[in-house]
């Protein structure tokens, strides 16, 4: 994705928004194998942000339209906005998003759910796409690549930078169930093959992608929009739900973690989206025989899904998700942003959320957006 680097790769640069003394040294986020120059480079980038601005880079929030988006970007410098079904599409169709981007000090993620089928927020602007399940019966992976490339270029032209797709859930459930026809197949190899085509096409068009819903929603007990969802035990997910992630973890795609209670992985009452064990499974890879993942981890929506909202407030949920190891917390309204940032600032200052962990997430987000310093 095209973007502008904020600073030169040097720790000697200064900025009026330099971090406060309460923050952990940015160099602590850099692996020990890096050179001092690379550490200085990362530190120089991080020095562009106050603590509150760093934390804001780790938030993506739904907006109602251009005015709502521009206000939250101007006032809090959040990292991303989400275009939902409720968003005035004039923001994209009339390129109002350009004014929102202009209000941001660093390139803003403009995200959308555009899977095709039932989950298609831009179909009126870029055309209708079949569901994932229907795609497999209608197109080869190569044809799907070409189809996706065209749609991704159209999204990019509208100002979208990240598509929360593909859905890599493995499911045989009925078409109209929560995942259903959003899944390419009940065969994990078919899912991986078509998801790979989607990711390559989107990336070739300059869009970021997000595989979802880790560690696998396809055989879940219900709909996390309406309540808690329990998956089969982790052991059973190994050969099915986790297989597409195992194959695609090095694809350059981000990953969205779902609100899923997973026996053998998550603690009772603590879904994967706020579970350090689930985040560690994804990061380390060893627990499902995959390569380590150092890309961006998004949460599923923390503010509009009962699997979370019935358990905790948005402030509690965002803090829990970032403490657990997520890089970016997603929810659907802007009104709570100041309260969330107040809470997160307190969490860092109190030591509940390590400053070094925040810095690592800011650097991952910058790399994902294409704004990272070239150290």
Nearest to 321 by CA among 284, 275, 278, 366: 275
Q: Residue 203 catalytic?
A: no
The SS3 of residue 211 is strand
Q: Provide the token pair at 134.
A: 């229907």
Structure tokens at 261: 């209670």
- Inter-residue contact 155 to 207 (CB < 8 Å): yes
Instruction: Check 300, 301, 327, 359 and give the catalytic one.
Output: 300
Q: How far is CA 65 from the centre of its chain?
A: 21
Residues near 281 by beta carbon (within 8 Å), at least 6 away in sequence: 215, 265, 287, 288
> How far is it, in rounded angstroms, from Cα 159 to Cα 145?
21
Backbone phi, psi, residue 318, to 5°: -65, -45
What is the DSSP secondary structure assignment for residue 18, as one 8-state letter? Answer: P
Q: What is the distance between the alpha carbons of residues 198 and 186, in angstroms, rounded to a whole number?
A: 18
Please provide the distance, in angstroms rounded to a whole number, between the alpha carbons at the two ends of the chain. 18
**Residue 214 backbone dihedrals phi, psi, to 5 degrees:** -60, 140
300 is catalytic: yes
Q: Where are the alpha helices (DSSP H) in the chain?
A: 36-46, 51-56, 66-76, 90-93, 97-102, 123-126, 132-138, 141-158, 188-204, 234-237, 243-248, 276-284, 306-309, 314-324, 337-349, 355-369
- Hey, which residues are catalytic here? 225, 300
């Amino acid at each position: 994705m095209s973007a502008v680097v904020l600073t030169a790769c040097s720790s000697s640069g200064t900025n009026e928004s330099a971090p406060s003394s309460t923050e952990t040294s940015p160099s602590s986020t850099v692996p020990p194998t890096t050179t001092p120059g690379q550490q200085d480079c990362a530190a120089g980038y991080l020095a562009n942000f106050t603590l509150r601005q760093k934390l804001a880079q780790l938030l993506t929030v739904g907006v109602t339209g251009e005015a709502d988006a521009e206000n939250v970007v101007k006032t809090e410098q959040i990292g991303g906005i989400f275009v939902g079904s409720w968003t005035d599409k004039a923001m994209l169709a009339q390129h109002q998003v350009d004014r929102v981007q202009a209000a941001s000090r660093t390139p803003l993620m403009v995200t959308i759910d555009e899977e095709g089928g039932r989950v298609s927020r831009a179909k009126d602007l870029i055309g209708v796409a079949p569901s994932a399940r229907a795609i497999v019966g209608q197109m080869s992976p190569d044809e799907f690549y070409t189809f996706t490339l065209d749609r991704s270029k159209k999204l990019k032209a509208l100002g979208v930078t990240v598509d929360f797709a593909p859905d890599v859930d493995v499911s045989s459930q009925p078409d109209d169930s929560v995942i259903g026809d959003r899944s390419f197949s009940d065969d994990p190899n078919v899912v991986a093959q078509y998801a790979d085509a989607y990711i390559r096409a989107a990336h070739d068009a300059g869009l970021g992608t997000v595989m979802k819903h880790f560690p696998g929603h396809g055989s879940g007990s219900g709909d996390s929009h309406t309540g808690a969802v329990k998956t089969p035990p982790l052991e059973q997910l190994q050969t099915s739900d986790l297989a597409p992630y195992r194959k695609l973890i090095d694809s350059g795609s981000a990953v969205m973690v779902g609100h899923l209670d997973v026996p053998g992985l998550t603690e009772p009452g603590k879904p994967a989206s706020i579970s350090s064990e689930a985040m560690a499974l994804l990061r380390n890879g060893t627990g499902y025989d995959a390569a380590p993942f150092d890309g961006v981890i998004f949460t599923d929506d923390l503010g509009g899904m009962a699997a979370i909202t019935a358990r905790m407030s948005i402030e509690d949920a965002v803090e829990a998700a970032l403490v657990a190891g997520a890089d970016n917390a997603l929810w659907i309204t802007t009104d709570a942003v100041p309260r969330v940032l107040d809470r997160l600032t307190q969490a860092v200052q109190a030591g509940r959320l390590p400053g070094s962990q925040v810095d690592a997430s800011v650097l991952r987000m910058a790399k994902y957006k294409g704004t990272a310093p070239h150290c």
